[in-house]
């Protein structure tokens, strides 16, 4: 009997901490591969190697290697690709970073997939099986999401946080200047048929779900349809959304009834001039953050505030103000991300033209460490920005502040589940922030996995 064609999916790690691979205790299942595996016919064997906690068995036979590449994992992804190609095994790269800078990715692979791979990925595998792999594959735009099957079985036997990831929609109706999604999707947003999403979830035992959509309410009517169908499932879910859902009482009501426990909200900044520079229109159109947050509190939602530090109207004081604001609002979690221009975004081009980038390709540069500022800020030095951002993370996550944030009986401490969730993840995220800071990207030949 002929052996099945075997595809190895690889989720690369980011890099090394004190000379050893970064070990992320807060890792989630890499949904991308459940989606890619779901597109393939039964006669293709799929295996997943998650470099974030497993050794990659480079010498194990496999017919095609498929690696997901994001900007922080690009260097490691290219290292893994080299190891396989040295052994004569074909490698295909795909994912956000590949779509943002295909020419770089193409130098590091036998084939690349640009954009969303629905409808094309099975062709890549069959071309490879017949020895006719092409160098470049272009995905359909906008992507066709009807009929998608998420094959979560690919995660069986592996250890991830106990939360099931799923996607209802792709893209975004905004185009913020710093954002990769805005750059790739050009204000296009596509939903999966809600009934297909709910049918998939109904078969899943896991009671806690993360909708990874960039903005789950971008198409409010289809989101309402999804939420109505979710109600009978009685699952708890979290997701990402823009705050303008608070202007629609019906949407809020359905969201709550469908089991929404918390949301990641991209506040980005409390400095209005920065929002204008970012062109973050969904936030500019709000009456105020305060009134919108008040409505989410009434819903009992636990918020994860996402902030971008280092825009041109930021200085040390505004960064301090932003952190204090997040603490005062008792957000369950917050991410203080340092502004890091991604290639092909508007902000990258602007900074390049203004000669403000410290390195041309910071994600591949030996001098770069995770958490470093990679450009010349307007009102401080890049070192000051690096320090301020690390300070912001420490301040928000210091033990006393964690306790202060916990004491919110409308949200984080409203019931036992919320308290347990708050205290399970806050200390974990605190540990990870220290571990991650200063990490070098890639393994640089210093650490090999066999
Ligand atoms: C969920 C998520 C997370 C989760 C983690 C998820 C996980 N499993 O580990 C959390 C919240 C922890 C997270 C963390 C971070 N994330 Co994140 N995350 C996402 C998000 C919202 C969804 C990813 C997802 O599951 N998509 C669903 C799948 C189905 O879509 P997909 O991956 O795009 O795959 C499709 C195609 O791209 C293609 N494809 C993808 N890979 C491959 C590979 C091959 C071989 C082929 C053929 C095709 C292919 O096929 C798929 C189907 O069409 C994306 C934004 C987005 N819209 O995708 C950001 C995103 C990927 N994250 C990003 C970043 C920067 C981060 C952080 C570094 C943030 C930070 N500063 O700390 C961290 C660390 C990430 C890490 N590598 O460790 C950026 C990456 C930017 C870039 N240029 O690469 C994104 C794009 C957000 C953004 N808009 O900027 N993230
Ligand atoms: S709203 Fe969010 S996902 Fe959309 S472009 Fe802006 S930052 Fe990106």
Ligand nearest to the CA of 98: 1
Q: What share of the chain is helix, strand, coil (3-state, %, to 5)?
A: 40, 20, 40
Q: Structure pTM?
A: 0.97
Residue 321: Cβ-neighbour burial (10 angstroms; 0-12, 13-18, 19+): middle
Q: Specify whether 314 is located in the same domain as 183.
A: yes
User: 316-328 and 382-396 helices cross at what angle (nearest 10)?
Assistant: 10
- Tell me the pLDDT tens digit for each residue of 429-439: 999 999 999 99
Residues 334, 336, 337, 339, CA torsion sign: positive
Q: How far apart are CA 200 and CA 287, in angstroms?
A: 37
Q: Specify whether 286 is located in the same domain as 237.
A: yes
Q: How far is CA 156 from CA 23, 48, 206, in A?
A: 20, 10, 13
Please give the pLDDT value at position 446: 74
Q: Specify whether 320 is located in the same domain as 381.
A: yes
434 belongs to a structural domain: no
Q: How far apart are CA 119 and CA 64, in angstroms?
A: 18
433 belongs to a structural domain: no
Q: Specify whether 124 is located in the same domain as 174.
A: no
The structural domain count of the chain equals 2
448 belongs to a structural domain: no
273 C-beta neighbours (distance < 10 Å), count: 13
Q: Which atom of ligand 2 is nearest to the CA of 242?
A: 1
- Contact at 8 Å (CB) between 170 and 185? yes
Q: C-alpha angle with apex 86: 84 to 87, nearest 5 degrees?
A: 65
Please give the pLDDT value at position 54: 95
174 ligand 2 Cβ < 6 A:
yes
Which among 100, 122, 138 is the end of a domain?
138
- Contact at 8 Å (CB) between 164 and 210? yes
- Tell me the pLDDT tens digit for each residue of 187-213: 999 999 999 999 999 999 999 999 999
Q: Specify whether 95 is located in the same domain as 234.
A: no
CA 68–ligand 1 middle distance (angstroms): 9
CATH of the domain at 82: 3.40.50.280
Q: Specify whether 266 is located in the same domain as 397.
A: yes
Q: How far apart are CA 35 and CA 441, in angstroms?
A: 27
Q: Specify whether 42 is located in the same domain as 191.
A: no
243 ligand 2 Cβ < 6 A:
no
CATH of the domain at 220: 3.80.30.20
Please give the pLDDT value at position 3: 84
CA 223–ligand 2 middle distance (angstroms): 17
Q: What percent of the chain has pLDDT over 90?
A: 98
CA 404–ligand 1 middle distance (angstroms): 32
Q: How far apart are CA 326 and CA 343, in angstroms?
A: 29
Q: Specify whether 262 is located in the same domain as 331.
A: yes
Ligand nearest to the CA of 264: 1
Q: Specify whether 182 is located in the same domain as 234.
A: yes
State mean pLDDT over 8-13: 98
Which tokens is 160 given? 């991830």
Q: How far apart are CA 56 and CA 77, in angstroms?
A: 12
Residues 162, 31, 156, 54, CA torsion sign: negative
13 belongs to a structural domain: yes
377 belongs to a structural domain: yes
State mean pLDDT over 12-28: 96
Ranges of beta strands (E only) in 107-235 are 111-114, 136-138, 164-166, 169-171, 189-191, 208-211
CA 173–ligand 2 middle distance (angstroms): 8
Q: Specify whether 100 is located in the same domain as 239.
A: no
- Tell me the pLDDT tens digit for each residue of 26-80: 999 999 999 999 999 999 999 999 999 999 999 999 999 999 999 999 999 999 9
Please give the pLDDT value at position 332: 98
Please give the pLDDT value at position 330: 98
Which tokens is 119 given? 């409808």
CA 42–ligand 1 middle distance (angstroms): 26
Q: Specify whether 206 is located in the same domain as 126.
A: no
Q: Specify whether 133 is located in the same domain as 169.
A: no
Q: Which atom of ligand 1 is nearest to the CA of 73?
A: 77
The residues pairing with 47 across neighbouring beta strands, listed in sequence order, are 8
State mean pLDDT over 381-395: 98
Q: Which atom of ligand 1 is nearest to the CA of 52?
A: 78
Domain span at residue 87 reads 5-138
């Amino acid at each position: 009997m002929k052996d099945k064609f075997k595809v190895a999916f690889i989720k690369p790690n980011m890099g090394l901490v004190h000379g050893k691979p970064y070990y992320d205790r807060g890792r989630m299942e890499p949904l991308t591969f459940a989606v890619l595996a779901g597109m393939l016919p039964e006669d293709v064997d799929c295996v997943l190697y998650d470099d974030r906690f497993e050794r990659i068995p480079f010498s194990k036979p496999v017919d095609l290697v498929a690696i997901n590449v994001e900007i922080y994992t690009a260097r490691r992804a290219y290292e893994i690709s080299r190891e396989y190609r040295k052994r004569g095994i074909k490698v295909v790269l795909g994912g956000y970073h590949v779509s943002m800078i295909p020419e770089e990715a193409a130098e590091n692979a036998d084939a690349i997939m640009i954009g969303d791979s629905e409808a094309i990925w099975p062709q890549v595998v069959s071309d490879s099986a017949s020895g006719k792999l092409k160098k470049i594959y272009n995905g359909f735009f906008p992507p066709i999401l009807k009929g998608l099957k998420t094959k979560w079985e690919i995660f069986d036997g592996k250890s991830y946080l106990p939360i099931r990831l799923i996607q209802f929609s792709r893209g975004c109706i905004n185009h913020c200047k710093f954002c990769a999604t805005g750059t790739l999707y050009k204000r296009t947003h596509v939903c999966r048929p809600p009934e297909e999403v709910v049918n998939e979830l109904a078969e899943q035992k896991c009671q806690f779900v993360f909708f990874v959509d960039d903005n789950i309410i971008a198409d409010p009517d289809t989101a309402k349809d999804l939420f109505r169908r979710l109600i009978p499932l009685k699952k708890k879910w979290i997701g990402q959304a823009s705050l303008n859902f608070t202007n629609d009482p019906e949407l809020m009501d359905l969201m709550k009834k469908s089991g929404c426990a918390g949301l990641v909200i991209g506040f980005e900044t409390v400095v209005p001039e920065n929002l204008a520079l970012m062109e973050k229109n969904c936030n500019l159109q709000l009456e105020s953050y305060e009134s919108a947050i008040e409505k989410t509190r009434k819903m009992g939602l636990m918020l994860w505030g996402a902030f971008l530090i280092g825009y041109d109207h930021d200085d040390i004081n505004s960064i301090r103000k932003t952190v204090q604001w997040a603490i005062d609002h008792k957000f369950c979690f917050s991410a203080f991300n340092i502004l890091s221009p991604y290639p092909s975004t508007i902000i990258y081009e602007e900074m390049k033209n203004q000669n403000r980038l410290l390195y041309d390709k910071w994600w591949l540069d030996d001098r770069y460490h995770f958490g470093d500022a990679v450009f010349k800020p307007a009102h401080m030095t890049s070192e000051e920005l690096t320090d301020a951002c690390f300070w912001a993370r420490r301040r928000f996550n210091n033990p006393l502040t964690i306790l202060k944030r916990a004491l919110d009986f409308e949200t984080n401490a409203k019931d036992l589940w919320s308290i347990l969730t708050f205290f399970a993840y806050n200390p974990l995220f605190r540990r990870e922030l220290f571990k991650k800071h200063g990490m070098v990207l890639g393994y640089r030949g210093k650490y090999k996995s066999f």
